[in-house]
Amino acid sequence: MNRTKAPALSFRGVRKTYGDGATEVRALDGVDLQMSPGSFVSVEGPSGCGKTTLLNLLGLLDVPSAGTVEWDGTPVGRLPERERARRRLTGVGFIFQRFYLLPTLTAEENVALPMRGAGRPAAERTARARALLESVGLTGRRHSRPHQLSGGEEQRVAIARALANEPGLLLADEPTGELDRANTESVLDLLVEAQHTTGASLVLVTHNPAVARRATRHLTMADGRIVGDTREA
C-alpha cells in the first residue's frame, strides 16, 4: 500500500449554509483549519454542531458556501464536479456510522466496488479485495452478504472497502457508534493501523472520549465553529 498520498488540507473562513431566508441553517460558521498529511485528528461536539458537514467538505462531498477549502493548495470549490468526484474516489475513504454496504453484493464484491470505479483490472480487484478482507480478519466471510454479518463484521468490511483505493484521507463518522466495546476496539485498531501503515490522514468523529484519545490532535466543535484544538506533545 504505497500509492497513498495524503493531501495537505486548508480551510479558511469556511461557511456552509443550508436553505435560505427564514430557514437558513449555518452548519459551519467561519472555520479555519490546517491539517498536514498523515494527521490523526478526532472531532467532538454536540449533535448538530457541524461535524458531519466538516467531514463532507474535507472529503469533497460538498463545497463551501463561503471561504476556501484547499487540497494541496488547490481550491476545491473551483474544481469541476467531475474532477472532485475523481479525487474523492481515488483519494478519500469514507467510513460511516451505518455501514452503507450494498445488500445484494457479497463482502468481497462490496470491497472490490470502488476499485472498479477507479478502473482497476478485474483480477487485481479480486485479489486485493481478498487481501483486504484477510487484513480485517474476514477471509472466511468473503462470500457472505451484509445481512449475514454482525455489526462489527459489517464495519470491518466497510473499512476494507474504504481502504480499497489506498486513499490519502480516511474520514470516519462515528464508526464505532453502534458497536460494543470489543468491536469498538478492533475497529479502532484497524483504522489506526491503516493510518499508520499507509501514511494517510485520519479524521474521526466520535462521542466516545476513549476513542478520541487514540488521536494525536483533538478538535472540539460548537455551533458550527472549532472551539478547541489541542495536540499531544
Three-class SS state of 73: coil
How far apart are CB 47 and Mg ion at their closest, in Å?
7
Annotate each residue in 1-20 with x if it binds ligand ATP (CB under 6 A) or - if it does not, as one string: -----------------xx-
What is the C-alpha to C-alpha distance for residues 99 and 158, in angstroms, rounded to an integer? 6
What is the total count of residues that contact ligand ATP (CB under 6 A)? 12
Residues 93, 165: Cα–Cα separation, whole Å: 8
Cβ nearer to Mg ion, comparing 10 with 53: 53
Query: Of 34-53, which residues contact Mg ion (CB under 5 A)?
Result: 52
Distance CA 160, CA 191 (A): 10
Rounded CA separation 218/43 (Å):
6
Using DSSP's 3-state secondary structure scheme, residue 95 falls into: strand
Quick check: 31 binds ligand ATP (CB under 6 A)? no
Q: Does 176 bind ligand ATP (CB under 6 A)?
A: no
Which set of grid coordinates corresponds to residue 136? 480485517
**Of 112 and 172, CB closest to Mg ion:** 172
52 in contact with ligand ATP (CB under 6 A): yes
| By CB under 6 A, residue 135 contacts ligand ATP | no
The site for ligand ATP (CB under 6 A) is made up of 18-19, 25, 27, 45, 47-53
The site for Mg ion (CB under 5 A) is made up of 52
